[in-house]
Amino acid sequence: MTETPIASVSICESNIYDSSNLSLSSMDEKMDTAIQTYCNKMYKSNKQFIYDIIDDIERMNLPNEEGKLDFMRRFWIDLGESHSPVLRHLIPKAKLEQSEREKAVQRLEDVKTLDHYSMDGFIPPALDDAQRQVFIETFKTVANEVAETEKDGAPWIQATDELKSFLKYACRLEDPNFRFWDVWEFAPYDERDGDKTPAELRENFLEQLRDEHSCIVDDLVPNIEPKACFLWGETTRGNETYWTIYAYCPIHEWGFNCDKSKKDHQWAWRILLTGLSMYDSLGYTTFDSILDFINWLGSWSERMDPKDLRQQVFEDTYGRFPSQSAYAQLK
């Protein structure tokens, strides 16, 4: 892939994230710094990636703009597409506005000026203080309900200060994933929840969190032995599906053969990343803190191998794309 120096292109830092109106605790300050750093890194990395891909496609000497845009859709999959009118009422406003911008693109060069609603990987918080407290209280209720805390006489499971701070600053983290790469999101709730009353929210969150626990506890995390776990991210691209799980689980050897009643002090909330495809078996990447996960998620450009990406996407190693889109390899 063409390496265009970051300083040579006009790539601004994220201008969406703003915490200036929030009072900060010690954890809030750490979360504020982590998310600001994450947003700026994600925005610059994603913009730089788009610039590099455009340069590569231009060097392919394709016959017309439609051919260039067709290839660009390997990376920006919704380019020139629009959502079905039947589904528009189910789609967040930011995504609908994004669709209109994408639909208007006529030339490959125009993509350089096209912004994405999650270019910085960040969706701002949608809940006010009262709504956020409803989520936190409901989260604790469901966590202890599925863990059978009262029945076992175990300590009450709490929401961490870290989670509370995250909810104060963000609705979710969502990478646009132009790279067709392994990608995970972190989404405790949907941004449309902000339109609901506290009473509606409580019922909504009760149902949501119970479902998020029951749908994964037997299939995705059986060996981890979590007391409570929630599916807070599910992304699919081609034949790959990636899940983000927030789990209250042992912090030692996944709890194999442990006596849970005697090891409550060793349990903690962790983020587990896992995925399935036709090429991989189920495995886990784990983070002991949300802050560590945010730092890792925003550093994708430091982990990505451009040569591997070039092979998988430009040469279509795994046959992900229609044959008519398989243009000649770059020289």
Calpha distance 190→95 (Å, rounded): 13
Give, as one character, the DSSP assignment of residue 313.
I
Local confidence band at 260 (pLDDT 50, 70, 90 cut-offs): very low
Please state, in angstroms and as integers, the Cα–Cα distance from residue 65 to each residue in 58, 62, 74, 109, 111, following that order: 10, 8, 15, 9, 12
- 50 and 111 in contact (C-beta within 8 Å)? yes
- What value does the mean pLDDT take over residues 36-52? 92
Q: Is 190 left (phi over 0), alpha (psi -120 to 50) or beta?
A: beta
Q: Which token pair is 99? A: 């669709």
Tens-place pLDDT, residues 297-321? 999 888 877 667 666 666 665 555 5
Does residue 256 register a pLDDT over 50?
no
- 259 and 225 in contact (C-beta within 8 Å)? no
- 131 and 194 in contact (C-beta within 8 Å)? yes
Tens-place pLDDT, residues 59-82? 888 999 989 998 888 888 777 655
The amino acid sitting at 54 is I
Q: SS3 string of 212-263? A: HHHCCCCCCCHHHCCCEEEEEEEEEECCEEEEEEEEEEECCHHHCCCCHHHC
Does residue 249 register a pLDDT over 60?
yes
Calpha distance 230→208 (Å, rounded): 9
Does residue 54 register a pLDDT over 70?
yes
Calpha distance 125→16 (Å, rounded): 11
Task: Report the candidate in 236, 304, 319, 313 with the shortest Cα–Cα distance to residue 73.
Answer: 313
More confident: 168 or 60: 168
Q: H or E stretch including 247?
A: strand 240-250
- What value does the mean pLDDT take over residues 205-226? 84
Calpha distance 155→226 (Å, rounded): 15
DSSP bridge partners of 194:
none
| % of the chain beyond a pLDDT of 70 | 73
Local confidence band at 294 (pLDDT 50, 70, 90 cut-offs): very high
The per-residue pLDDT for 7 is 31
Q: Angle, to 10 degrees, between the axis of helix 26-58 and the axis of helix 161-169?
A: 50
Does residue 169 register a pLDDT over 70?
yes
The per-residue pLDDT for 278 is 45
- Domain map (residue ranges) of the chain: 8-17+25-325
**How many other CB atoms sit within 10 Å of the CB of residue 99?**
18
Calpha distance 183→42 (Å, rounded): 13
Most confident residue range from 12-21, 236-245, 256-265, 282-291: 282-291
Task: Compute the mean pLDDT over every residue in the chain, rounded to the nearest whole number.
Answer: 79
Which of 11-25, 46-60, 119-133 is the least confident region? 11-25
Calpha distance 28→50 (Å, rounded): 33
Q: Which residue has the tokens 């900060």?
A: 24
Does residue 145 register a pLDDT over 70?
yes
Does residue 157 register a pLDDT over 50?
yes
